[in-house]
Each structure stands twice: as structure tokens, then as C-alpha cells.
Chains A and B, each alone.
Chain A
Amino acid sequence: MTDRIERAQRGDQGAFEQLYRDHVDRIFALCVRLSGDRLKAQELTQDAFVRAWEQLGTFRGDSAFSTWLHSLTVNVVLGAARSEARYRERVMSDEEKVQTAVASVADPGVGIDLERAIAALPEGARTALVLHDIEGYTHAEIAERQGLSPGTSKAQLHRARKLLREALNR
């Protein structure tokens, strides 16, 4: 374990700031792709680093710090998505749900690049695609984090790839 991490674990916020600066670009990219929304990704990135600060004591050096932080971030993002889904079900009217879904999809009339196409995917499909095809998770790992079966993860991935190819006219 590096000296910087140990100092951060003892409460040295200067050391933690250095860890933040070392890893923020990677974590932000992960949050952007999983959430499909840059503004939301800013909040999620903050949430991830705050959670990392709170749970630094649990990092024992069994894996690389970047791996630990990455895994923690995935949990933060997926947790936020579940909370948001519950809120939508409980609070939003049907009309609001439709309006939100429409607003979150990129305008297909505009030339669509890959990142925008990923952002426009339905949430479950986007999660499977980002974690499997970009971040290298296995279906078993994706399924465990989401409380799904590996078969469902595979189905979501298949759907994501199909939608992406259609959006990109391939």
C-alpha cells in the first residue's frame, strides 16, 4: 500500500486530494458512460469519492487502489440508478415518465457518434454494454452487482449491441 493511501486513511485530506486528482478522470468517464448524462456524472463522481473517503479504512491493499475505487464507483452509480427508478415509480405520473424518457434520448436526426449512442441506450442495456464491452466485467460479475442472472446480463448486452448498431447504421 502506498504512503499516500496510508496517510489518507489516517485522515490526511491533502493525501486524499492527490488520490482524487490521480483517479478523477477515470472515475468520471465511468460515471458518464454508466449514467448517460454528464451533469449527473458530476454528482455521481463526487458521491463516489465521498464514499471512498468514508470507506478508506476498508482498503487493505489486496487489490490495486484503482480497482477498489472503480468497483466502489460502480456500486454507487448502480445504487443511485435503483433509487431513481424507485422514485420514478412512486412519484412521477405516467406523462412525466414518458417526457423524461424522451428527453434522455439523443435526437436521432443529428449525426450520432458512439458516445451519444451509448448514452441513449436504455439503462439496463447501457449498464451491460459499458461494464462488459468497455470495462471488461464478466456476465457473472455484472449479474451479481445488479441482482440479475448472468443470462439476463447476456440478453441485455445483446440488446445493447443491436440497438447501437442500428443507431450507428451498421
Chain B
Amino acid sequence: MNCEDARRRLDDYADGSQPELERHENDGHLSGCAACREEAESIRGLLADLKAQPREMAPDADMWPAIAERTGGARTVKVDFRRWARSGAIAAMAAAAVVVIAAVSTLVVEWQTEQLATAMQRREYRAPALLVELRAVHKSYAKSIGQLTTALQHRRDSLSPETMAIVEQNLKTIESAIAEAQEALAADPSSKGLLRAISGLYAAKLRMLRSVGITNG
């Protein structure tokens, strides 16, 4: 091995990623070549310094206020039926709005899934298994969302406008994330990671609806 060959491999040699046979060849050359040995030591020294760099740095200012503002200040939803009992008319209007939102969400989910399926087929996507899986994900969640909508009807007196505002905000955030993930999946139809992400978002939507204190059926 000459110096040119040895130096071409020095990066991998110095960071230990070289295959064993090549490493032995480099060892042989370096044992007799001071210049290449010095080069290898220089790279190793740099790598040691890089690894020793601290993994954390304190920011110059607290960024939480800006992040809190951008994330909309959503709060934990706690349901206290005694405290939040309202007049029948107000509770009925509030519950009706939530039912409409949930029902529209279901329709939006159906529409988005079919749009995505159409886009995937249009691109002559040849992985029907993933498409079937996507439809199955949608089908399983659409049923639960529908059941929660019905359950909500029976609990309308328990909900306050404050609760509804939070539910609406959270639904909006999750729907936006689902739309983004489905758009990404349309661009990259082979991504199982994106399919898992969409499934996770539907699950988050269900958890959010359940956190209002209603259950399926």
C-alpha cells in the first residue's frame, strides 16, 4: 500500500469504521510511514475533541413563552359535572356544535382517506397491501369516532362552552396534522412510518374525545 491509498482510507481508519482486512493493511503501512501516522493521529485527535463537546447548551433566553403562544395554550380538560351544569338550551347548543364538529371530522377523515387512495392509485402505486392497511386504519377509527359522537348526545348537559372551545381547538390541531401526514404519504406512498403516524394521530383524536369524559356506547 502506498501513501495515497493509505490517506484515502484514513478517515475510516481513524474512526474505526474500516473493515478488518483493510485496517490490518493500514496498520502495516502506518508502522513504517511517519507522515501517514501523524495524519492519522491528527484525525483521531480531532474526533476525540468532537466527542468531548458538550451535548447540551443553555439557550440565551427562555423560549417557552413564544412556544406556548404558538401552540395555542390548550389546557387539560377536566370534567366536573356539578360545577359545569348549565341551562338546557346553552348545553344543547354547545353539545350540538361538538356533535357537528365530530361528524364533520368523520366525513373529513373519509374524504381525506379516499382522496389519498385516489392519489396513490393515480400514481400507479404498486403496493396494494399498504392501501388496504390505510383503509383498515380509517375504518377502525371512523367507527369509534361515530360511537363517541352518539355517546356525546347523552352527556350534553355536562359540557360547558369552555370545554367545547378546547375540544374544537384540539380537533383542529389534530386534523391539521392528519392532513399534513396524508399529504406526505401521497408524496411517499411506500412509507410505513407515515402510515403509523396517521394511525397515531387518529388514536390521539380518540384519546382527546375520551378525555372529555365520554365513552364509546
Contacts and interface: CB of A to CB of B under 8 A. Distances in A.
Interface of A: 7, 9-17, 20-21, 24-26, 28-29, 32, 38, 41-42, 45-46, 49-50, 53-60, 114-115, 129, 133-134, 154, 157-158, 161, 164-165, 168, 170
Interface string B5-41: 0000001000100000000000000000000000000
A28 B11 CA distance: 28
Contacts of B203: 57
Interface centre among B64, B181, B203, B207 (most CB of A within 10 A): B64
Given A12-B76, A58-B201, A60-B196, A114 B50 contact: yes
Interface of B: 11, 15, 42-43, 45-47, 49-51, 53-61, 63-64, 66-68, 70-71, 73-77, 166, 170, 173-174, 176-177, 181, 196-197, 200-201, 203-205, 207-208, 211
B192 to A, nearest CB: 12
7 contacts: A7-B76, A25-B56, A28-B56, A42-B59, A46-B66, A49-B63, A54-B71
A17 B55 contact: no
Contacts of B63: 20, 24, 42, 45-46, 49
Nearest to B207: A10
Query: Which of A26, A50, A164 is the most central at the interface, judged by chain B CB atoms within 10 Å of its CB?
Result: A50
Nearest to B202: A57
Contacts of B58: 25, 28
Secondary structure dominating the interface of A: helix
Contacts of B197: 55, 58
Given A21-B64, A45-B63, A133 B50 contact: yes
Given A58-B201, A133-B50, A154 B75 contact: no
Contacts, number: 120
Interface SS of chain B: helix, strand, loop or mixed?
Answer: helix
A134 B200 contact: no
A39 to B, nearest CB: 8
A17 B68 contact: yes
A88 B58 CA distance: 30
Contacts of A161: 11, 43, 46
Contacts of A29: 54-57
Given A11-B76, A54-B173, A59 B211 contact: no
B208 A114 contact: no
A12 B170 CA distance: 11
A54 B59 contact: no
